[in-house]
A and B are shown apart, each in its own frame.
Chain A
């Protein structure tokens, strides 16, 4: 017997089970839920109003003992800290080590989110409210990374990309408001990061030491597109898209079109630019689009996942000759940039001295090269392109020209 035999037996076993609930019942239940939520919201407003109205005019009267003192911020912090440490100690990955350094500490009313990291391990400690214990997880290890874009479980600098871990609440988002959080690596020179939900809600991130943290204590971020702003560009990374069935270039292109029309459009992408380059192996595909102000890379980052990143110049500028964007993951690096008029050939030089020939298409240059697993450093250090009369060089952000 095989799994198919078991499938047949289970189907026979549960076949007679049917849900005896009508569509009308479902609609009534939905309406009851809506009224209940409305009532709760109204109760919350009333409680807040009562609190304000009851505030003693002229300050707290002296000589009246407070039999039930309100919890102080210090007590809240001490309790939270203690629970986070205990939660970490209970994790099998802690192996007796102390909790990594606290990097982010956010709170909203009775709720809190703490992120601890030593650069390798990322731990989140979530406090829902005062009445429930905290939940501690190791973001860089636990299985929720299926929604994350961190490369090999690491928040490494991957060029124009926003590798990130998604908090468990987002994974478990169930249609009602649930807090979500995202911790990620911002590209060098990032001054601001935000995220756009499918309904247009924008969440601002906190930045610290190259990392960013997005938190939506009232719900959101499950399917957000994350944006980073540097001095000269805006980088938009769509939520990871999973797909079933066989992976091939056409499927990736189809997903890319859909992401451009939905998540990336919501985040500011004008339209899907023309496709300039596409490369495929048996395991993965990279499609690079460029035109107007935007460059878009769509990459198959595992058997069933596609990652789309759009890059646009800051402000109203356009792509200048020799300006490029690059990235790398899953054993392949890629590059796309604006070619000078009349370009006929060129090469990108990697840190180890390897010269990767450039392909040219529609005024853009591109390249794709193999990199070792976990090697995030193999991005071009110099790009050289020749026209009939001139050799253009880009190195360290500087563009120079000399006669050929």
Chain B
């Protein structure tokens, strides 16, 4: 197995879950992640030397999703799916409530808690400060605590995390 295949197989599911949690529909997430890995493959000689190739792929995948939203906004003359999946997502409560969060909060939750990136890596990937990452995570946790059924996340409280 070559090193791209190894890189792909070891990270594709984690990247897919993070992009899926960050927002949008399943097909769109699959397409974005596949596109991101295709771009990584097309310039693998460069990407493999990147300090964090997985973060590179995540960034590309999220950007591909945003590009789709921007294109939809122009074509449909409506708002992008800022709160896209609420009401459409057939899965459980956590998934539905996560999808109802603002985009930035979803992305921070996805990158920090699903992709397991550090605060610093998340900040760099999203182009925001570390303090803002913590703020978004804090707000996301607060919102989820209020929205989810009390018996499922009773007493959920935020903590400040450091990379």
Contact = CB atoms under 8 A, between A and B. Distances in A.
A175 B40 contact: yes
A174 B128 contact: no
Contacts of B56: 175
A279 interface: no
Contacts of A9: 94, 153
Contacts of B121: 242, 244
A1 B153 contact: yes
A167 to B, nearest CB: 11
Given A33-B38, A34-B42, A147-B124, A19 B30 contact: yes
Interface residues of B, number: 63
A71 B153 CA distance: 60
Contacts of A6: 109, 113, 141, 144, 153, 156
Interface stretch (A22-30, A85-93, A96-104, A202-210): A22-30
Contacts of B92: 13
Given A242-B121, A244-B163, A143 B113 contact: no
Given A6-B156, A174-B59, A19 B33 contact: yes
B34 A13 contact: no
Nearest to A178: B63
Nearest to B91: A13
Contacts of A147: 124, 127
Interface in A1-31: 1-3, 5-7, 9-11, 13-15, 17-21, 23, 25-27, 29-30
Interface of A: 1-3, 5-7, 9-11, 13-15, 17-21, 23, 25-27, 29-30, 33-34, 132, 143-147, 168, 171-172, 174-176, 198-199, 241-245, 303-304
Interface of B: 4-5, 8-9, 12-13, 15-17, 20-21, 26, 30, 33-43, 46-47, 51, 56, 59-60, 63-64, 74, 91-92, 94-95, 98, 109, 113-114, 118, 120-121, 123-124, 127-130, 132, 137, 141, 144, 153-159, 161, 163
27 contacts: A1-B157, A3-B113, A3-B141, A6-B141, A7-B113, A11-B114, A13-B91, A14-B114, A18-B16, A19-B13, A19-B34, A23-B8, A23-B9, A26-B41, A143-B129, A146-B124, A175-B39, A175-B42, A175-B43, A175-B56, A198-B46, A242-B123, A245-B163, A303-B120, A303-B163, A304-B120, A304-B130
